[in-house]
Structure 1
Amino acid sequence: MRVLAAMSGGVDSAVAAARLVEAGHDVTGVHLALSSNPQSFRSGARGCCTIEDSRDARRAADVLGIPFYVWDLAERFRADVVEDFVAEYAAGRTPNPCLRCNEKIKFAAVLDRALALGFDAVGTGHYARVVDGPGGRELHRAIDPAKDQSYVLGVLTERQLAHAIFPLGDTVKTGVRDEAARRGLAVARKPDSHDICFIADGDTAGFLRGQLGDAPGEVVDVDGAVVGSHEGTYGYTIGQRKGLRIGHPAPDGKPRYVLDISPVDRRVTVGPREALAVGALTGVSPRWCGPAPAGELRCEAQFRAHGEPVAATVTVSGDSSALKVRFNRPQEGVAPGQAVVLYDDTRVVGSATIDATRPAVASPAGDRLVGQRVT
């Protein structure tokens, strides 16, 4: 097959490309330039998409003896990922930009261009597996649970999975680094990137403040009493405990957590941990890694990239535009804007964007309802 290997400049994508070559595919490497003003160098594990990363990807391609190109997708990335990220926080939600990048950039813009150029598939260094199932191609968790990235790939459709290859899905991370060293790839000991790639210093609140400006408001308790102040609701997320800027402790002396975020009246509501318990959620814009399930689905749901999956029952709306997830036991830290990814054992069934949550018990904050998601 003719395979386009996405090469970020890190060890995972370099080894993935090497395995594609070794498997006999006709491989071409491509580095995605996602920043219109990239930094020269990374700072440890901060960020990515720097000039240094581009050069590391090119050197790896040279070692493998494959053609290499740089595709400038900075404008598309800003519109589909960065601006979406800012808009979601401005609306009081907590987005995951990695899912949006996979949906809009790597497996939409890149895959579409690759197919138009005559490639058969796109290969990446994600830790996940694509296997042939009885109904077609299926997305499954990686063998290494500590590195599994199926959550951020839960937005892929059946068509996209048919043209996706993840060569690292059956490998543990330590094995990949050792393999890179054996292959003579200079990125063998390069640190992984752990932060949002377009916020290299890791200061998300500072980045959002630069985009949205100061929008001071009140921090209140569940009775509406003012207990503090803030510079912008975008600096908070449901379940947050630290950095609340509360002037005095709760009457019972226990920590308080963010229960609700209301950008319209610039108000952040805080309260006891037990008020975080969520029994159900509503998801919108579902995407299925295969046919949409009919009727009620018993599965596992995961709402954080490295969170524990929990047993749940899912009901899809009649027009398939939304779904309801009911947890078998209450969950904490579920925030509108996050993705909920559904699993049948190791197989990814699909995903949706969390639009609203329903407390497991009656709460003075009420249902955490939000408006239509910005697209």
Structure 2
Amino acid sequence: MKKVCLAAPHLYEERNEKITLDRFLNGEQAGDLEIVKFEKELSSYVGTRKALVLSSGTVAIRLALKSLGVKSGDVVFWSSITYPPSCQAILSLGATPVFIDIDPLTWGMCPQSLRLAFQQLKEKGQRPRAVVVVNLYGQSADMDPILEICHEYGVPVLEEAAESLGATYKGRMSGTLGAVGIYSFNKNKIITTLFGGGALISNDPSYVDKARDCLSENRNDLMSPIAASIGRRQLEVLAKRLERKKEIYETYRRAFKEIGEIEMMNICDYGHSNYWLSVMTVKRGSVVTSKEIMEKLKSHHIESRLVWKPMHFQPDFSDFPFFTIQEGTSIAEDYANRGICLPSDTQMTQGEQDRVVNIVKQLFINSK
């Protein structure tokens, strides 16, 4: 039986083309040209002045932090739900992370919790060097109130848009609203450069130039010409990927609408999500738990995943401060306990998605 995957972008489903090494046998100059073209085409697509393509999104985060001047002893505010290795960058710089709860509607950083963190640090005579806002599962955080608070305190924003390439916020591309933004082209993202990959973007060229200067420390952080060439072709099919991802989400939303215990991740009307992963939550008090749903899907060779475990519960980060306006529990913890990332592969057939839906529905029917 074919395994139904969570998210596994295919390189050329819309065109019959094969990348070979032949095109790179004319020397380093030809390879460099592929990188330059990818950077220009990415900048043009998202509407920024400059881009720097790199070996991974994690590298992009580390260089973005450096470009913002983060150094040993600094404090950085960070959304608590994110991909854990991303936060290792801050430890490698000797800085201290302070984690901020998420908003229940946007799944992005909670502005009220962010303001609380600013106020409490101000009372201690401290101020963060930067704020890292994570656009979770393909949707932009509500950036206006976040940017307003950060501007008030004179602190730049790093927009961690690893999962949200192609999404928008009030007419602007996700990743372009902060001082600097990053994307990931890992093999499970909405487009991939196959060998990993990431990018740093900014409307202020000085940030990109500072990051590029840091590359002299480790040339392995550069994106390879082959990866850049693949990335260029992937940009050409991104629009169709976005359409397909939305179709997958809407199919789940319609199918589960009749099940009162299930809620799909809210999509805010201030922009467009890229629907990277279709995420559902099981309501509190449901007789069917999120783990039971995952176990049932696994028994049918269907891949799913829990929502990221909040960073303030991770062993490497549990001793660092966390701010929330919630009493008793945090939104991040609550969603991590009740959330499931459903199969969202763009190559998933309608029959395969129907099978996922029917298995989940049957669990709730049998529980009554």
Q: TM-score range by the shorter chain?
A: under 0.3
Query: Looking at both structures, which has the greater relative contact order when contacts are Cα pairs under 8 Å and sequence separation is at least 6?
Result: 2
TM-score, normalising length from structure 1? 0.27
TM-score, normalising length from structure 2? 0.28
- More strand per residue: 1
Rg (Cα) greater in structure: 1
